[in-house]
Amino acid sequence: MFRHTPRDFQTVLLILVGRTLKIKTLVDAANALLSHWPDDDGEEYVIAVKKCLDAIIGVSQANHARQALIAAANEAGMRVISLAHDAAAAPDHGRDAA
């Protein structure tokens, strides 16, 4: 079983007509799919919902849900902007100060 943290899901911006959705977590992804999606009958949409819910309950990996979300967004004609995690800007709590 997988345990996910917010760092497991790389932020994605979905550009819809009239709004932008910032997806930072698996729960954000599920909410976008179930509450804000313009077309809920696409094949990629159905796959994304399943992979997202599977990841939330811990039987799948967060990156699989993210990939499925992006495929569904492309299928729905949305623009997708992937925000890369800047490892250099993140604090390194495991390193000893010299």
Q: Note the pLDDT tens digit of each residue in 34-64.
A: 999 998 889 999 999 999 999 999 999 999 9
pTM: predicted TM-score of the whole model, two decimal places: 0.79
The pLDDT assigned to 86 comes to 43
The pLDDT assigned to 85 comes to 57
Residue 34 structure tokens = 């179930």
Rounded CA separation 78/4 (Å): 26
